[in-house]
Structure 1
Amino acid sequence: MRETFHEFYGYRIACTAPADAEPVVRRLFGPPSAPAPHAPWSGADTIRLSFEITDVDHDAVPPPYFPPHWDTRDEIVLDTRSSTATVSLAARAVHVRLARSDLGNPIVWGRWLVEKAFLIMTLRSNRHYGLHAGALEVEGRGALVTADSGVGKSTFTAWGLFQGATFIGEDAMMRHIEDPEDRFWGYPRCGYLDPAVAKTRPELADAPAAPVPARDKCRLEWPASFEERLVTAVRPHALLILTRDHQEIRPVGVDEVVELCRSDFEAGKLRAEDRALAEDDLRARLASMALLEFGLSSDLKANYARLATTLQA
């Protein structure tokens, strides 16, 4: 077993894995950090992530989005019938039992296990919260991007990457309340994209992609040509709420945004004081941002041009 160090959603990761699982670790995190836990900010949590390989002979099936009692138990198990991830909150640890048959399946070890394990850790913490949002940065100006499911958030953020923007994430952004730089942290190494959109981009021809069961999306790992524009954190200047109800850009108030995001930042927070802490932090961050309802057209290039103009205003 070899130990390597990484950063994931702003957490420091100390990862141990057998040789068979090392390709999975590289695809999840990219190259390791120096031989000491990388500190994205002073005081960042260190999470122990370990892998073992098993010979379980079952086909993987989608687990529940959240397993039963995920918001009350100290130990939460994500189970795909073939592979599992056990999240131990008190120990600050995630243990993945990965079936040999799932080594080549990034939906299992990425979407269903590791990405979800760290989302649960964030939501259950009284010092962290999450938003259902992506993020882009254009010429040094960052934006959180949120929308109802089906509006086109994933396509919007991916298209920004294709047009030259810096890509921070497309579905979940994590906030570490004690981070002094007011950043939100994402996972930029992959996107969830409509396969029809992916086929229009020649630079994605050889990018590893896997269909998401029961969804019209694939999990697509961005090719090396995008590496310099994949970053893990942003200090946003704006928050955009994407809509197809109109094609205008309209200001919205802090209270409206807080209510829109309430189910995100309160998820997993059973104590009123923890919910209040998350809300107070989000309100403080929103107070320094432009808050905008951003109406989408069918012209992806035009949408990106409007984004760039809006962020530089």
Structure 2
Amino acid sequence: MNVEGTILVGPEFEPVEGRVVVEDGEIQAIEEADTGSDSIVIPAFVNAHTHIGDSIAKEAGGGLSLDELVAPPDGLKHRLLRNTDRETKVDAMARTVTQMEETGTASFIEFREGGVEGVAMLQDALARRAVDPVILGRETEAAMHESDGFGASGARDGDFDQLRNATRRAGKLFGIHAGERDAADIHPALDLDPDFLVHLVHVEELHLDRIEDNEVPAVVCPRSNLVTNVGVPPIRQLTERTTVALGTDNVMTNSPSMFREMEFAAKLTDLPAETILRMATRNGAKIAGLNCGVIEEGRDAKLVVLDGDSDNLSYAKDVVRAVVRRAGHADIKRVHL
């Protein structure tokens, strides 16, 4: 299979006209050529932090605080999940997975509530879908063993030492929320030696030093943080210290569109478009241990083909900037996952 157009090649997303040669799902070569195609070929996205169980409650709880919305065990989302039947929860998650697939997301890192049964419900929702998530079980060690790792709610919510040790022994991924409502849980989260931290809205200089020294990646979810009124993360400072990826967080409060997350992050920070696109692709893949997120030989051929001649993208003078700040679902020609 060949995919032709203006290809955003490598970690710097150099625009190259030509074709991506794909065999058995792997990029074999990138050939420069005059193709006459108006397509723009980008790596598929990796959404580095989601809670898609919340798909049953889109836009519920407007005006509530963060704790009122999502704090375990009795935040609004947890009450709604307890009172919703299994079939509805699976259907809602399946619809969100379909939406992510259609909007170019190859994988997502899911903090999956509900223990072993919660993991099983998401696995059921994934039936016959091309998106291949990294599922982090929550609440129990058994959920970790049934999934790809453990996603901790936050150091203030319990003692995670044993779960962290069990996850390490299993050779699996351990992520934890930190610094979302205040800075008090960031040092305790770092003491667990996590594989990555999520949110870091209230990160301080001493935390940044530890994050840099220990090479701990960060996942930021700026749209979510703004909606829950906790502030916005210092994304620029984080990118100067560590690997930073983007996540869309709770489906209850945000669509799982990485286009929307990129545009918001770009306009919030005015970071270079290439930096933001890396946060939505390569960096998330790096955290998740995936072989995608960048178009180069030997990578999995997870690709999104955009219509460069759409009314939205035509006459763009800077292709990467247009993809990050302007592109959307309507510009997609096809998705290769």
Shared topology, TM-score over 0.5? no
State the TM-score, normalized to the length of structure 1.
Answer: 0.30
Structure with greater strand share of residues? 1
Structure with greater helix share of residues? 2
Higher relative contact order (CA 8 A, sep 6+): 2
